[in-house]
Every structure is written in structure tokens, then in C-alpha cells.
A and B are shown apart, each in its own frame.
Chain A
Amino acid sequence: MKKLVALVLSLMMVLSVCSFASAEGVNIDVTIWVAEEIKDLTAAQIEEFNATNPYGITFNATIEAVSEADAATNMITDVEAGADIFCFAQDQFARLVQAGAVAKLSDESAAWVKENNAAGVVAAATSGEALFAYPLTADNGYFMYYDKSVIPEEDIDSMEAIIADCEAAGKFFSFEMESSAWYLASFFFATGCVSEWVTDDDGQFIEVYDTFNSPQGLIAVKGMQKLVQSSSHNSSSKGAEFASNSAVVVTGTWDYVTVQDILGDNMGVADLPSFEVDGVSYHLGSFNGCKLMGVKPQVDSVKAEALELLAEYLTGYDCQMQRFDARAWGPSNLAAQASEAVQANPGLAALLAQSPYSLPQGQIHGSWWDIAKVIGDDVKDATDEAGLQLALDNYQEKIAALFTLSDDVKFGWTIIGTCNSTDGFFYTDYNGETRSNWGEDLPMEKVSVDTWKSAQAWDIEAGAEFKVRQGLSWDNAFPGDNFKVEEAGYYYIVFNETTGEVSLEAAE
């Protein structure tokens, strides 16, 4: 009851504001979460916006320092308490969309984003068909910092050479292999493996194309093994490692200042080296990620649009350049990327050098990071090729599990089987694709408390055999020995959960 009242009120408010919003200027309270280091800058930028914007909008902004890492988690914990505008690393994107914590961009905004940003980063802000965020940076990738006094110029292209140098000098080669899928993927990308995920408009992951467990993948882990089993390997990605006995650290632009501070003139920056397996050399790949800015879903369309305008401004050319000047954040804005200043920055230059070998991060299932990161450990412990293969198998098994875990699948019933019809298959599936014998399961729908019915009817030939099973596993499968179809016909398949009885229902 209380709720309904509230609902009505909010709707009325929406309408009212719509009506005379455009008439004269709008005042809008807004909370914004940005990283500590750009807090003040952002404040200034908003002042700027208030002063200059042509729409007569004035924002009373409360700006809080919230690291990109926390922002997403916080938004998800409590959307109501969350900020109207917030920044986050792209790996959080899907979670946010799922949680309904980021607003879908209006058509105008979507167009603007597509127009001003590179395809890779746009993809990062896209789920299904729709855009949900504004690219903020495009420098979320890694490259190699090294100590010139330890690693000679000529060695920096070969991982093996670098490892040798480190071992000789009793120094570390810091490359986070044991606790980070983000870094560890580098080896797989080197050999052309990919893990591409597809999300729908709700941010739900619907399928994955993953080739880590493949001959190429095996090569990748062989290369990885060279590194992780070396005494000089140190699984870390902290620039500060140079202070504690590292000669090489693979990390990103954010550590530039720290490293420079420690190494001074000895600092060297370069794209990642290549490793060699069976005489073939593979250049280490990398993720090419970005940070995004999101807008919280709004109840009031005017505020919604106003916030979009602000977000566009904050991720526009000027603001991105300001951030670059102040904090050396690599811009995602095409025009900004083109400017000499950006081109000249050594960190970004290295990133640029690495870019041919890097893949846009796109959408990746939240659990993937946890699943993939363990490969490093497994590879380290592996003594032979079988061990390496096992690591990859485990990996694939868990990836597969991700999709069977959802409750509807786990507790839902499906049909699986075949028959001796002419073409060997008794149906063409909903995508019109043909399925192999006892291959793919066919969906059923719950029609009553305990009764399930096949999603469609099929022409089933006499002698067709099938089972109805639960959770895509054979633990619960009926009937005990396959169901045999006596006479051909156009049937629905009906199953009773409680009795476990399977029957055919003629359809016309």
C-alpha cells in the first residue's frame, strides 16, 4: 500500500518535471564517484560545465573518492544509496548491467558515444544491442617496465633472454601469473587463443567461445611454464617491486610515476617480449581494457537526460585531455588519442607498441577471472605435458559449469534421444539446426505444478527412443530404459515430475 502511494507520487513527479523542465533552467543534485586522484579535477570540470552548458542545467554535485574497484561492488550492494554517476573498470560492466545499476543510454547519447570512441571501447560498454556506459580511458592495458642496468637493450624482445639475465643478476621478473587471469591471458593471446563472451540486454551471459583448451593453448602454457618455473619469477604487478629486487615488472601506465621514482634513468619501457616454443616464437599478447563511466538508472526522464549530458561532457575531448595532462590517463576519445601530446607520452607509447598484439577486453563473465587465474599455479606444479593438459581441462570444465549452474537449467527437465528415421534425427531444433544422436537436449516447459511439456511438437517417427532428464545430467532420467515411440505422429512430449511418467500428446 505504502509502496503504491510512493509509486504514484514518483510518476506524477516525472510528468510534472517533464512539463516545465525545458522552460527555464533546472537545478539537479548529483552524487559522483571518481578515483581519489581526479576528485578535485572532476569538481573543477563540473563547475566548468555549470558555467558553460547551453541547456541551463546547474548541478549541485557531491563528489566522493571511490576507487574504480569498489564503485561497482558498492553500486550493486545498494543501488538506491549509489552515486548518480560513477566510474568503474570494464570487467565490472556486466555485473552492473545485471544488477540494474547502470542506465541504458538514450539514443542520442548512444550515437554520440559510438561516434567519438574506438570500436573496442564501445564494445566494452555494450551489452546485447544496447550501450550502458561512457568510455573514460583506453589505457587499461599492460606492458613491460625494466631496469636498464640489468637487462641489456638487445635482450628485451626475448622472454628467455630476460629470464636468463634476471637469474644471472639474482633479480626478479615480476609478472602476475599466479593470482591474475588478466595478466596470465597474455600467453594465450600470444598463441591466438581467445575467450569471447556474449551477453544479452540484461547483462546475462548467454554463450562463450573459448579456445584456451586447444593445441594452441598447450603451446601457451608451455611458454608460461618457462617463466613460472624460473627461480627469478615473482608473481606480482606492483611497480614498487623494483624497490624490492625486481628487474622487470609487467604492469600499466598507473605505475609510471612510481617506477620512474625508483629507477630514475635506469627505467626502460617496452612492449612485452616474445617466447619460443618448438622453435616458433610468439609475441606475448595483452588485454586492452578501458575504464567506463556509468549513470545510475533514474526515475525522472529529465534528470536522466541531464545526467547523460554531464557524462558526455566528462568523457568528452576536453575533460579527457585535462585528465591526461594532470594524471596521464590515456584517453578513449578518438580526437584526444590523435593529439601529439598523447602520442608523445612514453607509457602510452609502449602501450601503443603493444597494441598490435592486444585484444579489446569486451565482456567477460565475472567468474572467469577466478577460474582462469588458477592456471598459473597449475602450470607451475605441472611436471609434464599431461599435467599442463590437465590444467586446461580443469579450466574448460569450470567454464562449462558456469552455464549449467542456473536454477532453471538445474531443476528444469529436457528431452534427449534419437530415432531410426530417414535422416537419423527426429527433429530440427528451434534454431533450425540439426542435432546429432543423443547430442543436445531439447527444452521443456513447466505447464502445471508437476507436469512438463516439450517446448514444441515434432514429427516423431515410430521407434524413436528418448529419455527425459533433469539438470542435463543422468542422475534423474526417465523412463528407466528409453521411451520407445510405437507409431509415428506429430507429438508433444509430456512428463510428470512426481510420477516420473513420460507420455506423448498428439498435436494437430
Chain B
Amino acid sequence: MTKYSDLEYLRLSKGDKFLYRLKCFFSGIPLFFKNLILAIASAFKKLGLAVAHEAADLVNTFKNGSVPTRVSYAVMGFGSFCRGQWLRGLLFLLMEIIFIGYMILAGGYWLGMLPSLGLQGPEQVATTVTSLRGGTNTVYTTVYHDNSFRILLYGVLTLFFIVAFIYTWRVNIRQNKINDQIIRSGKKIKSAGDDMRSLVDNSFHKTLLALPLTGILIFTVMPIIFMILVAFTNYDGTHNGFSNNLFHWMGLNNFNEMLNWSSGATSYAATFGEVLVWTLIWAFFATFTNYFLGMLVAMAINKKGIHFKKGWRTILVLTIAIPQFISLLYVSKMFARSGIVNNFLMDMGWIDQAHLIKFWEDPTLARITVIIINIWIGIPYLMLITTGILMNIPADLYESAKIDGASAWQQYTKITLPYMLFVMGPYLLTSFTGNMNNFNVIYLLTGGAPTNNASSAPGTVGYTDLLITWLFKITQGAESKYYLASVVGILVFVVVAVISLVVYNLLPSIKNEEDFQ
């Protein structure tokens, strides 16, 4: 396509400008992905180089390392001890001991079982015993053997531990290298005391991050990895890995089961498609209705000449205070077939009992209702946030606009809106993805209802089901197909990631930071 210079661009008509921008955008996309791929490639390259470098460094360190350094390759922390850094030495040594101990006692077993996920499931034994009732009786007991679930879990944990150990080992080597250098240059080595002191000062961030990161590692990263792995097994209600059947690795079969189109409209893929589409629609409306209406309310409250501003705000903010499981559950009951709303309408005589409004029974209506109720939930937050930003818009912008003869509406569209969109771009993105995974609202309001009869996928998909609620229902359903749920989970991640990636790279506030600053 032809690229215009700025001046040429300015001469274009409105329509052409728009078209041109559109073209630029779309012609930009392939480039974007190209760059993405290149970036990934280079990242791998970097990784490779880094590894190579590390390896080389290890060898060199050993070659021209002092005796303690060399010993430290086998006995971690030895070098540190020799140089009076008892604290580090102790920690290193402890790590090594614990590691070896663990691997011998338990880690070996878990690791060994990981490839098979267990060899022997539970078995039922019939034992003929002298019965308490007198006489003999054949009693059935169960002997439990391997537990696929635990194997997978502790297998992964063990892998984590090994990585951690290798890292500490590496650190221990590097320490020694540094110490060697310091000794050569004749400076004095940091003492345990120095280490301690630096932990509250120049390397204070390590202290700060240690706890949170460990937490995240064990309670977020590890489960996610586990979840991903489950997608490659046949873990479900009939293969729960312990009390009935073990589960095993299935390769890509599950993805095939989820994504192949062979059986057309009744295939899971079709269901996934429908749910995905609705999820996106939902996320879009949930985000933008809240955003604009919230902004509107904020502006209304902050308008000059509006009384008891604080009062209005308080009322709205208070609704944030009430836990959602109460408000949402109650509201869902209010809109039920024989709920308060319908009754009210009947008392008003606007409808008769033949034409009750089926808020939760009619697919389209149900979808609209959840979006509206979501507005009811979301506006207070948005009102708060936007209030803050509206305050930040420099007043002189409006004054100059007024002088240039802009009407209130023009002021809104030409100043307020661009400014807000610019500042809140990232926020909108996050809340969009957040809404895609907005479990509470859907689950507590409709639980996905009304059911989508056409679908044959597990978890009885409903018309208001988001991917997230659906995958939850899959795990809860009759067959509780955890593996399918994980597949859905992974797909959700892919969708979210792609969306954020693309949008993030188009956001003005990311591209040109300076505007409005």
C-alpha cells in the first residue's frame, strides 16, 4: 500500500483518512506477528547463548579456581566456610543436605513414577474372616497402591526442587568465583554481617520479594503447570488416579476430542465456538457499558451545581461493600419466574401471569439481563476510578475549547473522551480480559442457565455460560472430565493472551507516552 507523508495525509478527506488508518492497521498486523515470531526466536537464541556461556563459565571457574572453589563443586558452601562467610556456607550446605535427603527418601519415587503416572491401581480383596456376628463372613476391603494425582503433583514439585537446587549450586559456584577475584585483587571479602546488613539495604528488594515470590511459585505457577499437564492425561471421574483407576498420559488426544469438527454441529468444537463468541460479546459489553455509564454518572455527580455530591457517591460506594454472593444470589432470585420483579409487574397490571417475563428462561433475554445486572454491579467502581481521572483533566483545556465555541457535547467527545480513553486504555484492556473470566457474576446469577440443548458437550453448557464457568461445570458434571476442563483452560489462556498482545501493541498510551502528559 502507498505510504503518505504527514503533509499528504493531512490533505486527505475524512473518509480517506479513516480508510488509510484502517489499511495501515491491517497491513501492520502481519508485520506485528512477524516481529513477534522473530522476538521469540531471538529469545531462544539468547537462551541458548546464555546456557553456553554459563557452561563455559563453570569450566573456567573450575580451571583457574582456588582449592576451596573446586571443592565447592562437590560440597556446596565449602568455599564460603573457608572464607569465613559462615552464613552463606551454612545455607548452601543445608540446601545440599536437604536436597540429597529428599531425593533419596521420596523424590526418587515420585520422579520415577512420573512417566507412567503409576503402575498399579487399587484392588479389592475378599477376606474371609471370623465374623463379629459369629461364623465366617467374606468381607471386601480395598488395598490402595499408586496415586496418579499425587505422582503428578509431587513429580512436578520434585522437578521444581531440582531446578531450585541446580540454581543454588550455580550461585554457590559464582560466589566462589567472585571471592577468588576479590582475593586476587586484595580487597576484603563481605562477612556474614555484611550480607545481613545488605539484606535490609541495597539488596532489600530480595528480602521484600522472597516471600511473595515463593508463594506465587508454589500456589500459582505450580498449579498452572499441573493444570496444563492434566490436559495431556485422561484424568476424570472414572480415572481419578486413586480410588478407582489410575490415569495416564494421552498425548494430544484431548485436544483432538475438544477441537475436531468431525461430528459437525454436535462436536465439542462447535460448543466451544458458541461459548467463546458469547464470552467475547459479554466481555465487550460488560466492559464498555460499565465504562461509559460509570463515566457518565461520575460526570453527573461532579457537575458544577449538583448538591450533596458526597451523598450520591456514598450510596453507590456502599453497594461495593455488600459481598457479591449475597447481592447476586438475591438479585437472581428477584428476577426469577415467580420472583419479586415479575410479581411487582403483575401488581402494576403491566403483565398478566400468562406473560411473565422469563428473565432466566429465554436465552437472549437471560444474556441481556446478566449484562444489565452487571452494569448495576460495575458502575460504582468505574464511577470512583473515572472521578479521579476526570479531576486530572486540566480545566484550561475546557476553557480554551469553550472559547473556540465547542458545545458541551463537543467538549465531551473532543476532550473528555479522548483523554479518558488514552489514560484508561490499559485499564480497559485488563478489565476486558478480567470480564472474560468473570466467574462470580455468571455463576451466582444464572449458573449458566438456560441450558443449551443443542450441545452434546459435557458440563451441560448454558447460553449465559462463559468459558470459565463452563470449564468449572465440566469438572463438576456427571463424568467430571478434568482433562477436558484443562484443555478449555489452556484455550482460554491462548485467547486472552492473543487479545491482550494485539490490543496492548495498538494502545496509544503504550505507543506514544507523551500525549496529554
Contact = CB atoms under 8 A, between A and B. Distances in A.
Interface of A: 1-3, 7, 10-11, 14, 18, 21-22, 55, 57, 73, 76, 79-80, 95, 98-101, 103-108, 170-172, 178-179, 202, 204, 231-232, 234-236, 241, 244-246, 297-302, 304-306, 308-309, 365-367, 369-370, 373-374, 377-378, 394, 397-398, 401, 407, 410-411, 473, 475
B143 A299 contact: yes
B460 interface: yes
A299 B141 contact: yes
Contact of B142 (A22, A246, A298): A298
A305 B129 CA distance: 9
B133 to A, nearest CB: 6
B450 A377 contact: yes
A367 B132 contact: no
25 contacts: A1-B108, A2-B105, A3-B109, A3-B146, A7-B144, A79-B240, A99-B244, A101-B243, A108-B133, A178-B361, A231-B354, A231-B355, A234-B337, A235-B337, A297-B140, A299-B144, A301-B127, A301-B139, A301-B141, A302-B132, A305-B129, A306-B132, A309-B132, A309-B133, A401-B456
Residue with the highest number of chain A CB atoms closer than 10 Å, among B337, B449, B454? B337
7 shortest A-B CB distances, which residue pairs?
A366-B478, A231-B354, A100-B243, A374-B453, A100-B244, A297-B142, A79-B243
B27 interface: no
Contact of B237 (A2, A99, A308): A99
Nearest to A398: B456
Contacts of A407: 234, 250, 253
B262 A475 contact: yes
B324 interface: no
B445 to A, nearest CB: 16
Contacts of B477: 366-367, 370
Interface string B98-124: 000000011011000000000000101
B195 interface: no
Contacts of B234: 407
Residue with the highest number of chain A CB atoms closer than 10 Å, among B243, B263, B343, B480? B243
B266 interface: yes
B92 to A, nearest CB: 27
A401 B458 CA distance: 12
Given A1-B106, A73-B476, A234-B338, A301 B129 contact: yes
Given A3-B146, A301-B141, A370-B460, A18 B129 contact: yes
B57 interface: no
A53 to B, nearest CB: 9
A377 B145 contact: no
A304 B131 CA distance: 11
Contacts of B238: 98-99, 204
A308 B147 CA distance: 27
A506 to B, nearest CB: 34
Interface of B: 105-106, 108-109, 122, 124, 127, 129-133, 137-147, 234, 237-238, 240, 242-244, 250, 253, 257, 262-263, 266, 337-338, 343, 352-355, 361, 449-451, 453-454, 456, 458, 460, 476-480
Nearest to A76: B237
A459 to B, nearest CB: 35
Given A22-B132, A100-B244, A11 B143 contact: yes
Nearest to A370: B460
A305 B132 contact: yes
B240 A99 contact: yes
Contacts of A204: 238
Nearest to A394: B453
B140 A106 contact: yes
Residue with the highest number of chain B CB atoms closer than 10 Å, among A369, A370, A398? A370
Contacts of A3: 109, 145-147
A410 B138 CA distance: 39
Contacts of A73: 476
Contacts of B353: 170-172, 231-232, 245
B266 A397 contact: yes
A357 B361 CA distance: 31
Contacts of A236: 337-338
Contacts of B451: 179, 370, 373-374, 377
Nearest to A375: B453
A241 B453 CA distance: 26
B132 A2 contact: no
